[in-house]
């Protein structure tokens, strides 16, 4: 299919199977946006999807923490002997998902600095003050872990900046393709350029999520494409490995990626239809959809709503335990939320200071 292109020129065909997949994605997307989901269920499903995304995306890269251990790491400062790197990878990916959500709300053009910052979060254990990481300065070779044979030889370091610039220019100007295909192509191209020595796969998957969310395919944050990839890693890598040679310059750059697009659309279709089934089950309760109000909250605010289901008031200590932070930091967070109007101080006593939700959110939680 011909499109307006710059120096980045992906080759592909939109097959009948891809077209059918796109139509089913649209049908599920419409159905999900139309069905009511309660605040409690939406918050829980969103958090579950984020944990799944973190678990499966890091698992693809060899992380050995179980899904339950990933949840413990995210809930607090849990350490597992001999798994410090795994713990940092989980924290980094989860923090990067927060950053993706923030970027999608802005809706501006995606910049190199945005992607470099996502990579910094991925590789830095989620530390928020890290500088965006610069691209690799040497050749990177991907080898089979068992045979040590070369699987892929990416472009030389000197070509990476121009290739990344061309890819981002294409992402920010391509308005003719369906958004799912645009996200799939970007995923492939980022992985193909392989701009870093490590963390490329995770950042490619984050870029995919960002493009989908900006393009209106966020689906209330309820899906995790990473689970589809992780269920059959062999198929994932096979779909990404195209062209007559493992060398970028010997055909990989101009290879036909129709097979990868078909694989990606199939996974996205499965994920969307799974969420649709969950949404339909929830709609049977006759609940009112409050997802618009919840979208205005940041991830921490959505998570803390669970505390108010059991109690009208909470303390900074309870927030500290929920987020695995120091009580002093939790107290500062409460002060900020009071200033923002999210919380109201219901007891100003220094020793018994307590907080409740604002009137609108309190009524919403009480209704469910």
In the prediction, which pLDDT does 245 show? 84
Closest CA to 70 of 82, 45, 88: 88
Instruction: Tell me phi and psi for residue 142, to 5 degrees.
Output: -100, 125
Residue 316 lies in a domain: yes
Tokens read off for 165 = 């610039």
Can you read off the two tokens belonging to residue 51? 């944990």
Q: How many domains does the chain have?
A: 2
| Beta carbons of 12 and 1 less than 8 angstroms apart | yes
User: Does the residue 259 lie in any domain?
Assistant: yes
Last residue of a domain, one of 256, 283, 310: 283
Say yes or no: 248 and 355 in one domain: no
Identify the pLDDT of residue 105: 85
**What's the rounded mean pLDDT across residues 18-31?**
94
Residue 51 included in any domain: yes
Q: Computed from CA positions of residues 61, 63, 67, 73, in that sequence, does the dihedral angle turn out positive or negative?
A: negative
What pTM does this model have? 0.76
The Cα 78–Cα 86 span in angstroms is: 12
Phi, psi for residue 295 in degrees, rounded to 5:
-65, -25
Instruction: Write down the pLDDT at residue 71.
Output: 86
% of the chain with per-residue pLDDT over 70 = 91
Domain boundary among 251, 283, 315: 283
Orientation angle between helical segments 39-60 and 258-283, nearest 10 degrees: 150
**48 with 196, same domain?**
yes
Residues 60 and 176 in one domain: yes
SS3 sequence of the chain: CCCCCCCCCCECCCCHHHHHHHHHHHHHHHHHHHCCCCHHHHHHHHHHHHHHHHHHHHHHCCCCCCHHHHHHHHHCCCCCCCCHHHHHHHHHHHHHHHHHHHHHHHCCCCCHHHHHHHHHHHHCCCCCCCCCCCCCCCCCCEECCCCCCEEEECCCHHHHHHHHHHHHHHHHHCCCCCHHHHHHHHHHHHHHHCCCCCCHHHHHHHHHHHHHHHCCCCHHHCCCHHHHHHHCHHHHHHHHCCCCCCECCCCHHHCECHHHHHHHHHHHHHHHHHHHHHHHHHHCCCCCCCHHHHHCCCHHHHHHHHHHHCCCCECHHHHHHHHCCCHHHHHHHHHHHHHHCCEEEEECCCCCCEEEECHHHHHHHHCC
Same domain, 243 and 278: yes
Name the band, by pLDDT with cuts 50, 70 and 90, for residue 201.
very high
Decide which of 346 and 173 is more confident: 173
Q: How far does CA 100 lie from the centroid of its chain?
A: 6
Q: Which domain holds residue 326?
A: 297-366
- Looking at the fold, whether 68 and 147 belong to one and the same domain comes out as yes
Give me the chain's average pLDDT, please: 86
| pLDDT for residue 368 | 56
Whether 6 maps to a domain, the answer reads: no
Cβ neighbourhood burial of 112 (10 Å; 0-12, 13-18, 19+): middle
Same domain, 191 and 218: yes
Residue 218 domain-assigned? yes
Better pLDDT: 112 or 293: 112
pLDDT on residue 158? 96
Asked if 276 and 306 sit in the same domain, the reply is no
Q: What is the mean pLDDT of residues 117-135?
A: 86
Determine, yes or no, domain membership for 8.
Answer: no
Q: In whole angstroms, what separates CA 266 from the centre of its chain?
A: 18
pLDDT number for residue 217: 93
pLDDT per position as a tens digit, 279-303:
777 666 655 555 566 667 887 888 8
- Predicted confidence at residue 145, as pLDDT, reads 72
Short-list 308, 334, 341, CA closest to 320? 334
HSE-up of 232 (CA within 13 Å, CB side)? 9
Are 183 and 212 contacting, i.e. CB atoms less than 8 angstroms apart?
A: yes
pLDDT at residue 5 above 50? Answer: no
C-alpha 199: how far from its chain's center?
14
- Evaluate if residue 259 carries a pLDDT over 90: yes
Predicted confidence at residue 1, as pLDDT, reads 40
Mean pLDDT of 339-352: 84
- The whole-number pLDDT of residue 3 equals 39
Task: Please indicate, yes or no, if residue 1 is contained in any of the structural domains.
Answer: no
Asked if residue 174 and residue 310 are part of one domain, the reply reads no
Q: Check whether residue 357 and residue 279 sit in a common domain.
A: no
Structure tokens at 296: 């205005």
**Using an 8 Å Cβ cutoff, are 356 and 344 in contact?**
yes
pLDDT band for 111, please (50, 70, 90 cuts): very high
Q: First-to-last CA distance in the chain?
A: 49
Region label for 251, one of left (φ > 0), alpha (ψ between -120 and 50) or beta (otherwise) = left
Residue 142 domain flag: yes
Domain-terminating residue out of 261, 283, 305: 283
CB distance 85 to 121 below 8 Å: no
Looking at residue 4, its pLDDT comes to: 39
Most confident range, picked from 66-70, 255-259, 289-293, 362-366: 255-259
Measured between alpha carbons, how far is 294 from 42 in angstroms, rounded to an integer?
8
**Co-location of 173 and 59 in the same domain:** yes
Which tokens go with 36? 């009511």
User: Which CATH number goes with the domain that contains 92?
Assistant: 1.10.3290.10
Shared domain for 346 and 199, answered yes or no, is no
Find the range with the poorest average confidence among 95-104, 277-286, 341-350: 277-286
Instruction: Clarify whether residues 176 and 219 are in a common domain.
Output: yes
Residue 337: which CATH number? 1.10.10.10
Does residue 350 register a pLDDT over 90?
A: no
């Amino acid at each position: 299919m011909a499109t307006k292109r710059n120096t980045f020129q992906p080759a592909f065909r939109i097959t009948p199977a891809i077209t059918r997949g796109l139509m089913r994605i649209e049908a599920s997307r419409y159905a999900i946006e139309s069905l009511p989901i309660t605040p409690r269920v939406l918050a829980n499903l969103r958090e579950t999807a984020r944990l799944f995304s973190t678990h499966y995306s890091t698992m693809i890269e060899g992380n050995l923490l179980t899904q339950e251990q990933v949840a413990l790491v995210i809930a607090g400062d849990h350490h597992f002997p001999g798994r410090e790197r795994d713990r940092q990878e989980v924290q980094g990916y989860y923090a990067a998902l927060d950053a993706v959500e923030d970027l999608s709300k802005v809706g501006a053009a995606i910049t190199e600095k945005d992607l470099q910052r996502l990579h910094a979060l991925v590789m830095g254990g989620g530390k928020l003050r890290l500088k965006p990481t610069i691209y690799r300065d040497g050749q990177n070779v991907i080898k089979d872990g068992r045979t040590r044979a070369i699987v892929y030889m990416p472009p030389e370091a000197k070509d990476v900046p121009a290739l990344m610039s061309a890819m981002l220019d294409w992402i920010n100007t391509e308005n003719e393709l369906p958004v799912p295909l645009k996200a799939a192509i970007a995923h492939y191209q980022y992985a193909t350029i392989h701009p870093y020595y490590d963390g490329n796969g995770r950042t490619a998957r984050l870029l995919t999520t960002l493009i989908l969310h900006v393009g209106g395919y966020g689906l209330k944050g309820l899906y995790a494409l990473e689970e589809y990839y992780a269920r059959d890693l062999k198929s994932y890598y096979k779909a990404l490995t195209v062209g007559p040679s493992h060398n970028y310059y010997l055909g990989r750059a101009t290879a036909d990626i129709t097979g990868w697009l078909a694989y990606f659309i199939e996974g996205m279709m499965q994920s969307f239809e799974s969420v649709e089934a969950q949404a339909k089950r929830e709609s049977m309760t006759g609940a009112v959809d409050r997802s618009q109000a919840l979208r205005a909250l940041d991830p921490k605010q959505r998570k803390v709503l669970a505390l108010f289901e059991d109690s009208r008031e909470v303390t900074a200590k309870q927030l500290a335990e929920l987020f695995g932070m120091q009580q002093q930091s939790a107290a500062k967070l409460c002060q900020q939320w009071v200033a923002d109007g999210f919380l109201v101080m219901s007891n100003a006593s220094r020793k018994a200071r307590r907080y409740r939700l604002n009137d609108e959110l309190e009524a919403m939680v009480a209704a469910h």
